Structure 1
């Protein structure tokens, strides 16, 4: 974002001050403190706010609030005055249903991050092992829930792009032979993206331990996969024709020079390089 000039900053602050003062005056509040709150980012404890006419009352609990509101007069937008009668009022508590409870619970930075991580893992397993179905279904569901959760939170799109880049690098690692290069880049991208995934200060920060657990888990998974790939490259083939190289077999049908040999219970066609070989010989 381009930095504002000093003149523009002063204009913005003055506009905000004028708006705050107009609101304070219309509600009979302390206009002087309203200006101070804008210019100096001032704050007050509850009892001082009451003394300076910044707030109407201090209520330590709901019952106290109901008691203090008895006889309170409120000026409506049309200028009429309404007197509140709260003593003996019937209080009806409206609770969220289970769907609302669930959606409220997942609208949390840590839960959103867990869902996003599970979505990545599930989809990676499905892509690398087509036909398993279950990991893909779980990953898809977690992905949709993660998108809903992210939509309810102040997301930093640079962080989202870094996490998506990490996912792409992890997939690339599976289909290439970089032996960890893409994984290292993916882990780096994932950690940085996770740290800046949300805006809004400490309230919306992901728990660092959660980031560490997810990153280490993915790193361990790919370390295992890479280790298996390296071993597979180094391991000599133990099946098919490659297994027969350098081995001895029993001749079943004379080699003249072509014939048949028996090896580990299997019949193979063989050609002799040293002339005729009789049945029963090796």
Structure 2
């Protein structure tokens, strides 16, 4: 009996050991690992920052073991690139920049911030010279020097030779073997990046990438840009901001020239909605901006319908402009856009007012009628029948006074000179109640 118990106990121990080996095997093939793919596509701008912030937070909350940034961008705003680089650098989970087509300009800088870089065959990385926002030319020496230091630090952060990062941003660095120098910026192909240590591997697809990472059997999750984030990325573009504010200003002003509420008003209101909605999704516009905008609108309505000294209108316009500045990521961008919108609105308003005329809702509160003599409105009767008649000055004219004209006492004024009391005078002109006389000579 004891032998049977011993055999049974031994079998149970072997069975327990076998069960304990199952999870160990699962951990060995990587099936318990989670890899997140986050796209970094199109231009680098503020809307992309908000998307990447949400994506990284989601990956961390889901317990991702590795985050792959799939990069395909021509570059974009330096300020946005700096924010994205900070997000990647502060991510505790291991990161990989997977360049699936091009990582140019700001895209190259973002790639250098990842723990490692993997490129597909034919992908390119480089050409990262900082340019001015207005004319597309190279930035001034101060901005250029700061950008070179930024690129150098990004390369050194992952033990890469900073020479190549500097050559991507400075055309004066001569690397003829890689087509750099003589005003040409460095752009590396996948094989060249691998050669100089700016890529750890070349992978044709995600499967090869996971093999390189040792996560062949890992679970995969892909982040997608939501429709709201797509709108945010679109409307936070500086060019689009200028267009939206111009359409909003033109639409709302032209609505004042049209009876009822029609297409111009709808277009203007829609443009304003897109501006604030996009910046709200991107994380720039909070509730305070909407409240400030609403206060501005109410003050403008008070100024229109309540007689005042313009104070409500001035404060209202200031509140609306302030709400737009608060909602935007750059004061210079929004103020420039507002200036463009104001100029276009003034020009179009003048054209409409001249050739179309005013037919808007404020027509009822604006007095446009005028009183004309031709229409029978007479404030004073013009005594044209007494022109040429003579009389006597009853008082001295200095130059106004009283004269007796054909037995009628009248208030008169001389042509400018002094006329003594008792002098003979002659009426030379009349206009309403004004009767002009001059001293009469014996031969008049």
Bigger Rg, which one: 2
Q: For the superposition of Structure 1 and Structure 2, which TM-score range results when normalised by the shorter chain?
A: 0.3 to 0.5
TM-score (norm. length: structure 2): 0.30
TM-score (norm. length: structure 1): 0.44
